[in-house]
Amino acid sequence: MKRRTFLKAAGAGVTAVGIEGILTAHRAPAFAQGTTVHILRWNDFVPAADKIWREEFVPVTAKVLGIKLQVETINANDIPARATSAIQSGNGPDIIMVLNNYPHLYAASAVDVSDIAEEVAKTQGGIYPASQSLNKVGGQWVAMPWSVVPALVAYRKSWFETIGVKEFPKTWAQYHEVGKKLKAAKRPIGQTLGNTFGDAPTFTYPLMWSYGGQEVDAKGKPMVDSKETVESVRFMTQFWKDAHDEGGLAWDDTNNNRAFLSGEISASLNGASIYVAALNGGDKFKTEKGQPLHTDIQHAPLPAGPKGVQAYHTAFNHMVMKYSKNQKAAKDFLRWAHTASNYEKWFVVQKGFATGIARDWEKHEMWAKDPVMLPFKTAPNLQKQAMGFAGPPDKRAAEAWNKYIITVMYAQAASGKMKPEESVKWAAGELAKIYT
């Protein structure tokens, strides 16, 4: 779809409902003159995106909305500590970006943003189900989803071809066989099973789901101790030994990027940051044949288990805080930022690393520019469930996620610390304490 057509279609509803008056009048509304809105966000892995916030959004917001936007960025890992202290002291940023299901944790301290979410859903083709379950508490939107960073496997095409594999494996069993050959050729698969917030749970949860394992049932009764989960842990234990770089037990979310870019591993579940770094690095990253590394990278979803392909993508959401004295201005800013023509500026520089939260962004012409990034376009559709499945991704699910229970379940078995059955029983015991 052409940009003009896309914006016309996606933006019509929001502008009509929300900021039509402002845009028509070419002046800021009286209420917001000189109001400061302080937003706390993560240091984006795509630095150009932070530039859009500071160099585009700040001046335009001042002009159009009369809001002095103060953008503060910090490490994503440090956001919970800042949010906790801000909520407990009743003082801090007006808008806080939180990851995954943190909206459920902070629901009592968040302003209802259902009006914005419904406008965006109506005008931009509908918000993805996963974004809905992560941000809606008791039927109310307590946070406004901003983006999804899909986790797909980045792999070296030529290395796979060397062992006779022209297409990325479709099933876990096939991936196991391919991995064995790759490791034998000293090109193992790289995957973290460490205590880290991103790449580890985005791998272990979908692996468990794809075998039919689940943390709890819909009523919150622990269900993890099942033959399906045990089977998935058994598989991973062998897969780990046969196909992986075993140092991955100590990796955080950055190790796989470094290992891949320096030619130590052949594949890794990741956001698109490996490819983006290779693309931006130019001559810095090359294949053994001297070709630019980015020409040898392709992306694919995780393989399918008995229950099909599963995925968990990291969600980024904005919360307007209840303690804020500028709630209306903060909401007006969010509404403005989600207007297709404004959001697009940020969306385009992401080049697919982060996708939109509504389906219409799959139609954007940006996707036609780089075929390597194409799998990211529809990746959010692969995510059918979230942490705490088959229950809601609530506080209890967040506790289990933050304690890395599912990741540790796999890590204990993969490292030989426990047998698969014992490790699953251990996870069941820990989940039972949380859910009872």
Partner 1 sequence: MKPAVAGAGGAAVAALPGERLVVSRWTRLLENQRVLAVALLVPGVAILTIFIAYPFVMAIWFSLTDISVGTAGKFVGADNFKKAFQDTIFQTAFWNTCFYTFWATVFKLALGMWLALLLNRHFRFKRMIRAWMLLPFIIPTVLSTFAWRWMFDPTFSVINWVLYQSGWISDRLPFLSNGDWAMWCAIVVNTWRGTPFFAITLLAGLQTINPDLHEAAALDGANAWNRFWHVTWPLLLPVTLVVVVFSVIQTFSDFQLIYVLTGGGPANSTHLVATYAYQLGVASGLLGEGAAISLFMFPVLCLVVWFQLRYLKRMEGA
Q: Which spans of this chain sit near partner 1 (rule: CB under 8 A)?
A: 80-81, 83-84, 87-88, 105-109, 193-196, 245-252, 255, 258-259, 262, 264, 395, 398-399, 402-404, 408, 411-412, 415, 417, 426, 429-430, 433
Q: Which of 16, 250 has the CB closer to partner 1?
A: 250
Pair 43, 316: CB distance under 8 Å:
no
Give whichever of 234 and 403 is closer to partner 1, judged by the CB atom: 403
Q: Which two tokens stand for residue 121?
A: 């859903």
How far is residue 302's CA from residue 376's CA, in Å, rounded to a whole number? Answer: 13
| Per-position b or e across 70-88, b if 16+ CB within 10 A of its CB | ebebeebeebbeebeebbe
Query: Minimum CB separation from partner 1 for residue 428, in Å?
Result: 12
The residue to which tokens 């996620």 are assigned: 401
3-class DSSP state of 251: coil
Buried b (16+ CB within 10 A) or exposed e, 338-350: bbbebbbebbbbb
Q: What does the alpha-carbon distance between residue 401 and residue 101 come to, in Å, rounded to a whole number?
A: 10
Q: At what angle do helices 327-337 and 340-350 cross, to 10 degrees?
A: 70
Q: Which C-beta is closer to partner 1: that of 18 or that of 80? A: 80
Least distance in angstroms from the C-beta of 87 to partner 1? 5
Characterize the bridge pairing of strands 144-149 and 267-270: unpaired
Minimum distance from residue 399 beta carbon to partner 1 (Å): 5
* Minimum distance from residue 261 beta carbon to partner 1 (Å): 11
Measured from the CB atom, the residue of 261 and 311 that comes closer to partner 1 is: 261
Least separation in angstroms between residue 324's CB and partner 1 is 13
CB of 237 to partner 1, least distance (A): 13
Q: What H or E segment, with its residue span, contains residue 416? A: none
Q: Which is nearer to partner 1, 258 or 384 (by Cβ)?
A: 258
Cβ closest to partner 1, residue 27 vs residue 395: 395
